[in-house]
Amino acid sequence: MPSTLPDGDETTDVAPATPTEPTTDRAVPTSDPLDADVAGDADVADDAGAERAAHGRPADERRRRRLVALLVSIAGGVLVLDQLSKAWAIATLDGERRELIGDLLGLQLVFNPGAALSIATGMTWVLTLVAVAVVVVLVRVARRLGSTTWAVALGLLLGGALGNLVDRLVREPGFARGHVIDFIAYVDWFVGNVADIAIVVAAGLVVLLVARGVGVDGTRDHDLADDADGESDGEPGAGHADDADADGSARG
């Protein structure tokens, strides 16, 4: 509002300036890129750890141990059954054939110094060394087991090999020269034992698995080809085939 000074001049009232608080520019906090990278790496590590827990070596190792236990159980069962049946044959049978199913199947005690079909009757030492080598190879192969059907096949093969090896090591006429006890007569072809049956069944399973392309570790040939194609395209391979599918295909 204008006011009059003593000399007659008018003045204009000026409102006092309102004091203002000093302001400072404050940056809005933002996430540190380094912290974000660290957090991202932690998440990746957690995901990788979870994947290893689900599909990593500990799980593979547990599965392999179960398969090895299955192999050993089958081999032990075949060995025990073979030796018990041979003890029964020695106590019960003689060199005369006893017919079970006409001329097709019979019982007859035979002390065989050679291999099946009376092959290599004068090479008992060599056959003993071969049997030992077979057992060693089977034990080494068992370290790569990843297939149930292969575990069964190798268990039968190992049990049969051990059954006849025991005869060669402990029976007459002496160590590593012992004669194998045979007592199951097939027509007029040859005389065998329980260990021989296990070996023949194992051989059939091995042929079937190889024909199907199933490896001892459970992988299949086409899976390996897919892995190679995926790596060439920059994509991860499929890895191992599902064992149940591989074994089911082998049995089918």
Chain segment 209-249, per-residue pLDDT in tens:
999 999 999 998 765 555 555 555 554 444 444 454 445 54
**Would strands 10-12 and 190-192 be described as parallel, antiparallel, or unpaired?**
unpaired
H-assigned helices in the chain? 33-55, 57-92, 124-141, 148-170, 194-212, 221-232, 243-251
Q: What percent of the chain has pLDDT over 90?
A: 46
Residue partners of 89: CB distance under 8 A and separation at least 6: 107, 109, 181, 183, 193
Query: Distance between CA atoms of 223 and 241, rounded to whole angstroms?
Result: 6
Cβ atoms of 155 and 71 closer than 8 Å: yes
- The catalytic position among 167, 182, 243, 247 is 182
Q: Which distant-in-sequence residues (6+ apart) come within 8 Å of 242 by Cβ? A: none
The residues near 107 (Cβ < 8 Å, ≥ 6 apart) are: 89, 93, 97, 98, 100, 183, 184, 185
Query: Which residue among the candidates 82, 196, 223, 247 is catalytic per the annotation?
Result: 196
Euclidean distance between CA atoms 40 and 34, whole angstroms = 10
Output the pTM of the full model. 0.66
CA 5, 7, 11, 15 torsion-angle sign: negative
- Tell me the DSSP string of 119-137: TTTT-HHHHHHHHHHHHHH
Take residue 162 and report the two structure tokens written for it. 């051990």
229 catalytic per annotation: no
Q: How far apart are CA 94 and CA 182, in angstroms?
A: 11
CA distances 56 to 50, 59, 149, Å, are 9, 6, 22
Residue with tokens 């006893």: 98
Quote the CA–CA distance of 222 and 220 in Å, as a whole number.
6
Closest CA to 167 of 106, 110, 96: 110
223 catalytic per annotation: no
* Average pLDDT, rounded, for the chain: 76
Q: Give 6-60 pLDDT, tens digit per residue.
A: 455 555 555 555 555 555 455 444 555 444 443 444 443 444 444 444 455 677 8
Could you read off the pLDDT of 107-161 as tens digits, one per residue? Answer: 999 999 877 655 666 677 888 888 899 899 998 998 899 999 999 999 999 999 9
Residue 160 CA, distance from chain mean position: 22
